[in-house]
Structure 1
Amino acid sequence: MAVGLCGPESALHFDRTAFPASPRIDNKWFPLTPGMQYTTTGTVTSAEGDTERTVVHSVTGLTKVIDGVKTQVLWDRDYADGELVESELAFFAQTESGDVWLFGEYPEEFEGGTFIGAPNTFLSGISGAQAGIAMQTEPRTGTVSYVQAHAPAVGFLDCGAVFKEHEPVCVPTGCYDDVLVIDEHNPLEPQVGHQRKYYSAGTGLVKVTAEGGENQETLDLVKAEKLSDAQLQEINQQALTLDQHAYQVNPDYATTPKAEVATQSSGGK
């Protein structure tokens, strides 16, 4: 058990029976509705200069069992100066009481358009990795930090804390009056600094900023759209292909059940 990884009272209390048989993620701060796609754009500033970054988050209709829990699959594509640098599957599930948990990530890395590996893969229950809380049911300022996930084999530890509530924020998709700000950091990598993630009820992530650290990253939500049924089915197929490739790449991943298509309709045309 992770005792105090993110400070006092931050031990993880993972209970498989707290999750429903089929995933449904409707936490107002972190909704994952199959067929929704969110695009964020921004800049990463480092000693080498600025890089334009675009991340496309696609909520697939796939499910995958991780650590005995059926999770929902999110597919992220990360572009630097227009070139794909990472394609990632991330696995989430929500407890009956409303906490959203992260169960693992499979991030494929690319260089010059060529796949170079997925060294930062972690899956809850394998190689000491533990699922953690991606978003609380009722986040409040003044509460203790919590573990978002822990994977010692790859040096992954994300700690979250509610930094602010009721913040006004404007991004290209509009202005939001009641934004929740979560401070995130990895105590194992203090040189990275902190991220501040801004969430709007009903939408989810709308902004990312940096506090300290070697690289300064900012991202704003520029598009939130419901895909058509045909688009969702294409997204499902591409994510399935990524899931299948992972079995050839990562021995840990090869021990998990294959992803399955659970939803093919977004409610769109």
Structure 2
Amino acid sequence: MSQRGKRFTAYGSAILLVLGTLTVGTAAAATAAPNPQELCGPGSAIKFNRADFPANPVIDNKWLTLKPGMQFTTTGEVRSADGSVSAHSVVHTVTGLTKVINGVKTQVLWDRDYSDGVLAESELAFFAQSKRSGSVWLFGEYPEEYENGKLAGAPSTFVSGIKGTQAGIALQGSPHRNSPAYVQAYAPSVDFLDCGRVLYKNQRVCVKTGCYNDVMVIDEFNPLDPPSAGHQRKFYSAGTGLIKVTAVSGADQEFMDLVKIKKLSRAELASVNAQALKQDKRGYTVSKDVYAKTPRAVVAYPGPVS
């Protein structure tokens, strides 16, 4: 989903290096090169296999269940380094669309992001769940940016399999504390790398939609960013999904709570599908070098799924 602020962690180079020995007359210590695939630290190499995904997406991970016709609204604020504060809200809608990305049929989410009540970003994001592990994977994002009500472009678009972009795990099937960080997505062409790590489990958190006793906290960061970028933390409740977002340091800190859960009517989902299809079509003109290389999205679910 949206709310992907810039994040950072200090993975010291020593963590990524393995000590070895060389003998040239006398023994001397040396270091081996880090595994270039361990983008988020040891044990984080991406293990993507198209055969792990079903012919049609079914996303029923208990921490992130995505049923067509469900809509979630989060509201809060963004606090900037200069002391300014702006109201922020995001409407997350699970559309009835699917789209094939890098050989995998994905479920399409449509996020509408508002700053001080004005549309700032409209994003299509693409998810699929592994049959083997139950992990939900992110295959790409097409985020249109708006300025003064007008489309300004989509420079941060990334799609798995294009320009070196790799799909990653949005949420693990069996998340555990003290397990290695994992790659959520990697797009070198737009300097995008998101990493996640399970920080806490079984927390009690209250937001407008209720109090939850089973909350898991994911710490998200980008090792490519400078220290000033900070970390973002996302709070997930089993059976509900994302309920809260906070920030730890960083220049622009986002704080959001889940305030509304809605199941759309058939007519409302039809309207969402039409608008998301319109954005999908527009992407072939706006992002000719990336998005235009993907197959068109299609309506797979004209009505909500129970």
Task: Report the TM-score, using the length of structure 2 for normalisation.
Answer: 0.86
- Equivalence for 1:259: 297
- Equivalence for 2:73: 39
Which of 242, 259, 279 is matched with 1:205 structurally?
242
Which of 281, 292, 306 is matched with 1:244 structurally?
281
How far apart in 1 are the matches of 2:173 and 2:225?
28
**1:2–1:12: 8 Å Cα contact kept in structure 2?**
no
Say if 2:131 is the partner of 1:96. yes
Q: What number of residue pairs does the alignment pair up?
A: 268
One-letter code aligned to 2:274: Q
**2:68–2:305: 8 Å Cα contact kept in structure 1?**
no
One-letter code aligned to 2:79: T
How far apart in 2 are the matches of 1:58 and 1:174?
20
Deviations 1:171-204 (A, max 9, x none): 0000000101000011111322100000000110
Q: Runs of 5+ in structure 2 lacking a partner?
A: 1-34
Say if 2:163 is the partner of 1:127. yes
One-letter code aligned to 2:207: V
How far apart in 1 are the matches of 2:236 and 2:91?
17
Which of 47, 62, 80 is matched with 2:115 structurally?
80
Deviations 1:67-112 (A, max 9, x none): 0000000000000000000000000000103110000000000011
- Equivalence for 2:272: 235
Shift of 1:29: 0.2
Greater C-alpha radius of gyration: 2
Shift of 1:62: 0.2
Which of 245, 252, 255 is matched with 1:215 structurally?
252
How far apart in 1 are the matches of 2:155 and 2:93?
22
Shift of 1:66: 0.3
CA 1:204–1:266: 2 relative to 1, 3 Å = same
Mean Cα deviation higher: 30-39 or 249-258: 249-258
Shift of 1:267: 5.0
**1:61–1:73: 8 Å Cα contact kept in structure 2?**
yes
Deviations 1:142-173 (A, max 9, x none): 10000000000001000000000000000000
Say if 2:88 is the partner of 1:50. no
One-letter code aligned to 1:69: V
Aligned sequence identity (%): 61
How far apart in 2 are the matches of 1:156 and 1:2?
16
How far apart in 1 are the matches of 2:45 and 2:93?
31
Corresponding residue SS for 2:283 = helix
Task: Report the TM-score, using the length of structure 1 for normalisation.
Answer: 0.98
Shift of 1:27: 0.2
In the TM superposition, what are the counterparts of 1:166-177 in structure 2 within 5 Å?
166-177=202-213
- Return structure 1 stretches of 4+ with deviation > 2 angstroms: none
One-letter code aligned to 1:227: L
How far apart in 1 are the matches of 2:192 and 2:203?
29
Aligned residues: CA RMSD:
1.1
How far apart in 2 are the matches of 1:176 and 1:88?
28
Which of 154, 169, 175 is matched with 2:190 structurally?
154
Shift of 1:2: 5.5
